[in-house]
Amino acid sequence: MPVKKLALALFIAAVVLLYFIGGGEKYLSIQLYQDLFEHSPLATLGVFFVVFLVATACSLPVTGALSLASGIVFGALTGLVVSLLASTLGGTVALLSTRYLLRDLIKRRFTGQLAVVNKGLENEGAFFLFGLRMIPVIPFWLLNLVIGLTSMRVSVFMLATLTGMVPVVFILAYTGSELGDIDRFSVSAIFTPGLILALTLLATFPFIARFLVKQARRYINRE
């Protein structure tokens, strides 16, 4: 087995083993990080980043929830940075797992999604991935796996993922930061200007993003 495949297989096996031995579900608790943050902010940041990266690498459907949690624990800007880096790196590991280990399995399981992605990449190139990151028609975890079946360069995948996710992740982290400022839930605490703005952005962004991506596609097609 080539060195890359062996290293990736060992990494996945170690993650699965540590998850079950160490009671991995407890690391998905927001309260854990809030309590830890009060005593050691840097350690909390490091642990959360690793958990986020590993969860994404294992293709768990938790990217949105963890982005929201990052805002609750760390605030909007730090939460944005942590979420973007962890999801991009974790997504890259997932892509590589398809490319080097699970190619036949993923190809059989997600034939329909692969056809859609191949057609989109053929017509629009990397912008197709960028658009899907802004408008998650295909779930984040699934898109990582399917892109691994294509010939897209890893560096292009990382750049399109990182830039395409900025608006969505920022809105989630900002919403989380507003929720994190609530000491006790009540009508007056929930309906603050900041939280109303955050919820409005969450509700309207898919429509705004769809319009922007549509206009950009028209411009690309004209070119």
Task: Give pLDDT, residue 110.
Answer: 93
pLDDT for the residue numbered 159: 96
Going residue by residue through the chain, which has 223 residues, state the pLDDT in tens, using 9 for 90 and above.
Answer: 565 555 555 555 555 555 555 555 555 566 666 677 777 888 889 988 998 998 999 898 889 989 998 998 899 999 999 999 999 999 999 999 999 888 999 999 999 999 999 999 998 888 999 989 988 778 999 999 999 999 999 999 999 999 999 999 999 999 888 887 665 544 455 557 777 777 787 778 778 888 877 777 776 666 5
* Residue 137 pLDDT: 79
How much is the pLDDT for 87? 96
Instruction: Say what the pLDDT of residue 107 is.
Output: 92
Could you write out the DSSP letters of every residue in the chain? --HHHHHHHHHHHHHHHHHHHTTGGGGG-HHHHHHHHHH-HHHHHHHHHHHHHHHHHTT-S-HHHHHHHHHHHH-HHHHHHHHHHHHHHHHHHHHHHHHHTSHHHHHHHTHHHHHHHHHHHHHHTHHHHHHHHHS-SS-HHHHHHHHTTS---HHHHHHHHHHHTHHHHHHHHHHHHHHHT-SS--HHHHS-HHHHHHHHHHHHHHHHHHHHHHHHHHHHHH-
Domain ranges for the chain: 3-222
pLDDT for residue 39: 79
pLDDT given for residue 187 in this prediction: 47
